[in-house]
């Protein structure tokens, strides 16, 4: 017989155990966040759209985006300046009065910290009235937060950002206390992120330190996260289709038309499509284009990009600097590659710091090969000429570069330095007496039939030639085709064949695997028992315009693997030889 109270004790023990089981089964609050979240924002600029200029009896008036203001006219030059730095037009009236061509200068883009100049054409509607469209670079920024439950029961998250690769290689621990969310990096030097979670509205808000902005996230299915996945919705087996010809100068053909095997390229594209988002770094290929025998034969886009979305070329845009130098020389500009650089900047006479015999011997060729000997190394954060030191507090980037001390004799060693290439802009400005965006438009963009591009500007308002031009990939691919064709595009001479040959020849050695021409990288690629010479314009993240002359082939990758060279160099070292070069059928 049980002792008195046994039933009562047993009941309490059963109740306590059941409460313990219920407590153990209660999921942590962070599990409410498991899933995919997305936030896409266009941060500006606000001023865009239709621009109308009207010539009155005494004054010119301009109307755009609700603004109406007086335009300034000086001879054939026409300009407008919006209040608060909201935008600026720099244009020129054609002799026949039928067009005003120029550039729209937009305010600083938060995404990159630069301002950009975009071509604008206003056409006459009737005498004294011109109208056109202003389409500045969108300050576009996408964030995808993938929250997952871990094997140990904790909740972790990673971020994907197609435009700048913020959050790359960082895993966050997720904590939710009440309405407060905290993402704490589990390694590295990333900053923690904090925000709020509204369970009822199913909305997550995070403060993002790089921009000091709050991004509102909503839950996303795959069809609502085009920047996270290679394609949305998920596609089946890849089926190759030849590119479609349009009014940009490219003729198109199929791979078989130009003697290429579809199967290796189908395997390459399928591998891109089969990628799933994960916490580990992976190739983030956003565009893949190929041209053979002068015809566009493959054009594929991924992760929310398409043929009309301009892509940041990063340092691949450096190569335009030497193209412009070649054009200027072809037109008789008063300098040569052997001209001392200091002599081409008379405005700084008597004011250049650290001026010695070595600096006096620095030539234009040394700039194009990054072998100036200046104290400038982009791979060394402590270097006084490091690109990151070129910021708004430096009013004149040309003089800042010329003032750098010399650390070695010019021509002795090539060291990667964006400021060297940018200084070529000062050479061009002073010898052609042009505003460089106008020179670029007239002598390169127009003959190449470039349809949409945005040139990044220095604080002085001059074109920055160190990289960062935004351009449609179809248009950027033309740079490789231009050189493969000996300086012509669709039969029109743009730059001399002599300059093409000279600028792609060996001029400097960067390292054991890479040599350098005039802003062109040079490599040797092995496919089986064959070795092919290749030269390329190359930019951070995987922006590669690659030319293989022996195969009459140009290949372009665009990608978002910024600051992860170990990943994007595989595009050249592995993907190009294994899938693309091997697809070229042997000649009969």
335 φψ region: left (φ > 0), alpha (ψ -120 to 50), beta (else): beta
- Tell me which residue has tokens 């690659």: 546
**Closest-CA residue to 270 (of 297, 302, 242):** 302
CA 361, CA 144: separation in Å to the nearest integer?
Answer: 51
What residues pair up with 463 in beta bridges, in sequence order?
Answer: 457
Burial class of residue 247, CB neighbours in 10 A (0-12, 13-18, 19+): exposed
Burial class of residue 294, CB neighbours in 10 A (0-12, 13-18, 19+): middle
H-helix segments, 3-61:
6-25
Residue 188 pLDDT: 73
Do residues 337 and 328 make contact, with C-beta atoms less than 8 angstroms apart? no
Residue 25 pLDDT: 61
CA 481, CA 535: separation in Å to the nearest integer?
Answer: 12
557 — phi, psi (to 5°)? Answer: -110, 140
User: Cα 466–467–473 angle (5° rounding)?
Assistant: 155
User: Cα 425–560–472 angle (5° rounding)?
Assistant: 55
Token couple for 363: 């030539």
Q: Which pLDDT tens digit goes with each residue over 356-405?
A: 999 999 999 999 999 999 999 999 999 999 999 999 999 999 999 999 99
Total-model pTM: 0.94
CA 535, CA 494: separation in Å to the nearest integer?
Answer: 19
User: Contacts by 154-161 with C-beta closer than 8 Å and gap 24+?
Assistant: 154/28, 154/30, 155/28, 155/30, 155/31, 155/33, 155/34, 156/186, 156/279, 157/33, 157/183, 158/277, 158/278, 158/279, 160/227, 160/228, 160/277, 161/560
Supply the Cα-derived Rg of the chain in whole angstroms: 28
410 — phi, psi (to 5°)? Answer: -60, 140
Residue 131 pLDDT: 98
- Tell me which residue has tokens 């179809």: 474
Token couple for 297: 């034969």
Identify the H or E element spanning 188.
none
Token couple for 585: 């059928």
Residue 495 pLDDT: 98
User: Cα 461–465–471 angle (5° rounding)?
Assistant: 95
pLDDT, averaged in runs of 10, over the chain (588 residues): 46 46 70 96 95 95 97 97 96 97 96 94 97 97 96 94 89 96 89 95 91 93 95 91 97 98 98 94 96 98 97 98 98 98 98 98 98 97 96 95 98 97 98 98 98 96 98 98 98 98 97 93 94 97 98 98 96 98 84
Residue 588 pLDDT: 55
CA 212, CA 208: separation in Å to the nearest integer?
Answer: 6
Sign of CA dihedral 409, 413, 419, 421: positive
- How far, rounded to the nearest angstrom, does the alpha carbon of residue 17 sit from its chain's CA centroid? 60
233 — phi, psi (to 5°)? Answer: -70, 175
CA 557, CA 152: separation in Å to the nearest integer?
Answer: 39
SS3 377: coil
């Amino acid at each position: 017989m049980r002792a008195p109270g046994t039933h009562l004790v047993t009941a309490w023990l059963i109740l306590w155990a059941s409460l313990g089981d219920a407590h153990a089964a209660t999921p942590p609050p962070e599990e409410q966040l498991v899933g995919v979240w997305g936030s896409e924002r266009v941060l500006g600029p606000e001023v865009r759209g239709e621009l109308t200029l009207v010539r009155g009896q005494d004054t010119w008036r301009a109307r755009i985006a609700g603004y109406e203001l007086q335009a300034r006219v000086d001879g054939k030059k026409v300009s407008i300046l919006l209040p608060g730095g909201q935008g600026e037009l720099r244009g020129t009236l054609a002799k026949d009065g039928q067009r005003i061509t120029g550039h729209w200068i937009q305010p600083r883009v938060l995404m990159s910290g630069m301002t950009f100049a975009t071509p604008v054409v206003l056409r006459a509607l009737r005498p004294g009235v011109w109208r056109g469209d202003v389409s500045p670079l969108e300050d576009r920024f996408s964030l995808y937060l993938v929250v997952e439950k871990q094997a140990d029961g904790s909740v972790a998250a990673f971020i994907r950002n197609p435009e700048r690769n913020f959050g790359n290689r960082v895993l966050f621990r997720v904590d939710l206390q009440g309405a407060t969310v905290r993402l704490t990096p589990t390694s590295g030097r990333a900053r923690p992120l904090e925000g709020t979670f509204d369970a009822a509205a199913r909305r997550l808000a995070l403060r993002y330190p790089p921009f000091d902005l709050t991004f509102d996230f909503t839950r996303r299915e795959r069809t609502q996260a085009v920047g996270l996945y290679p394609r949305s919705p998920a596609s089946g087996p890849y089926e190759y289709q030849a590119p479609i010809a349009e009014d940009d100068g490219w003729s198109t053909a199929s791979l078989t038309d130009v003697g290429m095997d579809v199967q290796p390229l189908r395997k390459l594209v399928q591998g891109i499509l089969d990628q799933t988002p994960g916490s580990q770094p992976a190739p983030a290929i956003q565009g893949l284009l190929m041209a053979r025998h002068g015809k566009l034969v493959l054009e594929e886009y991924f992760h929310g990009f398409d043929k009309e979305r301009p892509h940041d070329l990063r340092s691949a845009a450096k190569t335009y600097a030497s193209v412009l130098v070649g054009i200027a020389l072809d037109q008789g500009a008063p300098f040569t590659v052997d001209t001392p650089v200091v002599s081409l900047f008379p405005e700084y006479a008597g004011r250049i710091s650290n001026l010695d015999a070595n600096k006096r011997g620095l030539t234009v060729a040394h700039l194009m090969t990054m072998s100036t000997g200046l104290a400038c190394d982009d791979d060394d954060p402590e270097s006084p000429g490091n690109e990151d030191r070129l910021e708004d507090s430096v009013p004149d980037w040309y003089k800042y570069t010329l003032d750098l001390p010399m650390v070695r004799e010019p021509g002795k060693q090539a060291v990667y330095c964006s400021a060297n290439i940018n200084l070529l802009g000062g050479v061009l400005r002073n010898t052609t007496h042009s505003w460089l965006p106008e020179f670029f438009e007239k002598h390169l963009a127009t003959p190449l039939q470039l349809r949409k591009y945005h040139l990044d500007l220095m604080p002085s308002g001059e074109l920055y030639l160190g990289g960062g031009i935004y351009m449609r990939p179809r248009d950027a691919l033309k740079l490789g085709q231009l050189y493969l064709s000996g300086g012509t595009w669709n039969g029109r001479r743009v730059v001399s064949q002599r300059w093409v040959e000279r600028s792609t020849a060996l001029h400097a050695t960067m390292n054991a695997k890479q040599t350098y021409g005039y802003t062109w990288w040079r490599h040797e690629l092995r496919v089986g028992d064959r070795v092919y010479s290749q030269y390329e314009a190359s930019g951070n993240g995987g922006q590669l315009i690659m030319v293989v002359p022996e195969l009459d082939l140009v290949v372009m990758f665009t990608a978002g693997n910024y600051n992860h060279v170990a990943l994007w160099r595989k595009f050249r070292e592995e993907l190009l030889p294994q899938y693309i070069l091997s697809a070229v059928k042997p000649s009969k």
